[in-house]
Structure 1
Amino acid sequence: MLQKFGFTQYESQVYEAIFAQDQPLDATSIVNYSNVPKAKIYEVLNRLIDKGTVLTTMHGKKKLYMAVDLQSIILKIRADFEKDIEELKTYKIKRTFTDEHIWTLKDASSIASNIEQLIEEADSSILFLAWNEQMDKYRELLEQKEAEGVHVEVLAVGGLQSSLTHKYSLIPMIEDSKLEPSQLIIVDYAYLLFAGIEHDSWKAIKTTSKPIVKALTDYFYHDVALTQITKKYGDQLLQDEEIARLLARLIY
C-alpha cells in the first residue's frame, strides 16, 4: 500500500514487517520477516529513518528499530503533499522558444485554469476583456498582480466593481440574450488566449504567435477606445442612425 505514496517495494516490506510486530526488531529479524535481502537491509532502513517512518535506538550493542504509527505517517504524507502543492503553485517555467502554433481548448474549467495561470505568471502586463461574470472570478488576482507592479487593463462588459486603476466598462446597447460572451487575455504582449461560445460550449485558442498577439492587442485597444468614445460622446453619436447601428455591434 505504501508504494502508492512514494515508498519503494523494499521500504514497504520493511515498514510492514516492523509494524506487524509488538516489539522493536534488530536488522537480522527484519530480514527474516520482510524477505528483503540482507545486503540491502541497512540501506532501506536508513531511508525509512530519513523519511521519519522508522525510529531507532541502541539496546546494548544492538541497534533496534520500531515503526512509527500509521496514522502519523498519513498526517506526514498529507502535510508534505500540501507543502509540495504550494511550492508548485509558485514554480515558473519561462519559454525560451517561439511557438507559432495555435492550440485549442474545449473545456470551460480548462479555459478558466489557463486564464488563471496566465494571470499568475504575468511579469509586466495584462490586458483582459470579458463579460463581468467571467472577469469577476479573477478580480482579486488581477488586483493582486497590479499591487505587485504589473500593468493591468481590463474591459468588462456590463461593468466591474474593482480597485483596478485601468478598468473600462462597456454597458451593452442590446438585450443580454442576444450577446455572445467572449474572453480575451493577453499577457506580457506575448501570450494570448481567446475564448467564445460555440454550440452552447466554451471553446478557446491559445498561442504565442506574434502576428495574432499583435492583431488582438490592437483589437483590445480598439474596443477600449470605442467604449470610451461612446461613453463620452454617446448621446451625440447615437443621433446618427448609421453610427448608432455600428456602435451597437461593438465587441458583440
Structure 2
Amino acid sequence: MAGDDGLTDALVALGFSQYESRAYVGLLGGEYGLTAYALWKRTGVPQPKIYEALRKLVERGVAIQVGTRPQRFAPRQVDEVLEQLQQDFDSRVEEAKRTAAKALSGGEGADAYAEVLRGSRGKDAVLTDAAHLINDAGERLYISGWAEDLAELKDTIVSAQERGVQLVILVFGRGKFDVRGAAVYRHTTTSHVLYRSHRNRHIGVVADGRRAVWGVAFDGEEWTSLRFEDRRLLGLLRQFIRHDIYVQKIYNHLQPEMEEAFGIGLEKLVELDKPLSEFVQGERTARSAG
C-alpha cells in the first residue's frame, strides 16, 4: 500500500509504538482477517512482538478479532481510528483544563473524573468491547442482552464467574442462556410476545460501577455502541437493568393478575397516555359484568 512508511510514522507520532504502527498498516494492506503468522510474514515485526502488538491494537479499539481457530484480526477503518484518537485527545485536553481549574481554585467544586464517550460500529466490535469490560471486571457485573448474543460472550462471562466476580444477568428472547452460580433472570414478559419495538436488540454491560458498554442493533442488524466511564451514565444503565429485573420478579410472582390487568406480555403498559385510573376502572367494570 502506497504511503505505508508515512502512515506508520504518523501513527507513531500519535502515540503508537513502532510495532503497533507496522502491524496496523499491515492489517490495512492485507486480506480481511489475517493470522498473527501471516501478519508477521507481511510486516517483518519480530514474531515474539507481533502477538503483543495485536493485543495492544485490540485494546486500543483499532483492530478486532474476527476468528478464533485460528485467531484472525482485521483493522478498523482509518477514518474511524483517527476520529477516535481525536476524541481521546480532546477528552484529555478537557480533563487537563478541569484539573488545572481545580488546582488554581483550590479544588472547590471541580469534578474529579473524566467524562469519556467512545463509539463502536458492527456486531464484532460491540462484542469485543463488551468482552474487554467483562475480562477487566474484578467485583461485580451487570449484563443485559438477548440470549443468542450473550452466547457469544459465554466463555468470557464464565471466566469472570470463576474468578469470583458477582454476576447479575438479564436475558431476553427465547434462547437458552445460563451460568452456574450467577444470578440469571429471564425477561419473561416478552419471551412469548414479539412487538415491533422489540426488533431492536441490545447488549449492556456495567463493570464494577466504573466502566460500561451500551450496544444497540436497530432492527436487529445495524449494531452501534457507546463505551463510557461517566458516573451519571453508569448509574442510568445500571438502574435500567435493575428496574427491568424488578419488573420480571414482580411479574413472575403475580403473572395471572398482571396479565388480567395489562394483557399477555403486559402490552397495555406501553399506553402511557392512558392513566392508571382508567385501567383500574376498566377491570372493575369487567368484573362486575362477569
Short-chain TM bin: 0.5 to 0.7
Does the alignment pair 1:160 with 2:181?
Answer: no
Query: Structure 1 residues 157 and 104 mapped into 2: Cα distance closer, same or farther (>3 Å)?
Result: same
Q: 2:186 aligns with which of 169, 178, 182?
A: 169
Q: Which residue of 2 aligns with 1:8?
A: none
For 2:268 and 2:181, the matched residues in 1 are separated by: 29
What's 1:183 paired with? 203
State which of 103, 116, 131 in structure 1 corresponds to 2:146: 131
SS in 2 for 1:156: strand
Segments of structure 1 that go 5 or more residues without pairing to the other structure are 1-73
Which of 209, 217, 238 is residue 197 of structure 1 equivalent to? 217
Query: Offset at 1:197?
Result: 2.0
- In structure 2, give the amino acid aligned to 1:223: D
Task: Please identify, of 135-144 and 194-203, the stretch whose mean Cα deviation from structure 2 is larger.
Answer: 194-203
Which of these residues, 111, 115, 123, is aligned with residue 130 of structure 2? 115
Task: Please name the residue that 1:36 is paired with.
Answer: none
- Contact 1:160–1:169 (CA<8 Å) still a contact in 2? no
TM-score (norm 1): 0.58
Residues 188-213 of structure 1, C-alpha deviations (whole Å, 9 max, x = no match):
11111111123741111111111111
TM-score (norm 2): 0.51
Counterpart position of 1:4 = none
Residue 99 of structure 1: how far off its partner (Å): 2.3
1:84 offset after TM fit, Å? 4.0
Residue correspondence of structure 1 range 1-252 to structure 2 within 5 A? 80-81=48-49, 84=52, 98-158=113-173, 159-171=176-188, 172=190, 173-175=192-194, 179=198, 180-198=200-218, 200-241=221-262, 244-246=266-268
* Aligned match of 1:33: none
Structure of higher RCO (CA pairs closer than 8 Å, 6+ residues apart): 1
Amino acid at match of 1:175: L
- Percent sequence identity is 11
Amino acid at match of 1:232: H
Q: Tell me the secondary structure at the aligned position of residue 240 of structure 1.
A: helix
One-letter amino acid of the structure 2 residue matched with residue 163 of structure 1: R
* One-letter code aligned to 2:240: Y
1:58-88 alpha-carbon deviations (Å, 9 max, x no partner): xxxxxxxxxxxxxxxx8xx886247647986
Report the CA distance between 1:246 and its aligned residue.
4.7
Q: What's the CA shift for 1:247?
A: 5.2
Please give the root-mean-square deviation of Cα atoms over the aligned residues, in Å: 3.5
Gaps (5+ residues) in structure 2? 1-40, 60-94, 96-111, 272-290
Structure 1 counterpart of 2:178, one-letter code: Q
- Specify the structure having the higher radius of gyration (Cα): 1
Q: Which residue of 2 aligns with 1:17?
A: none
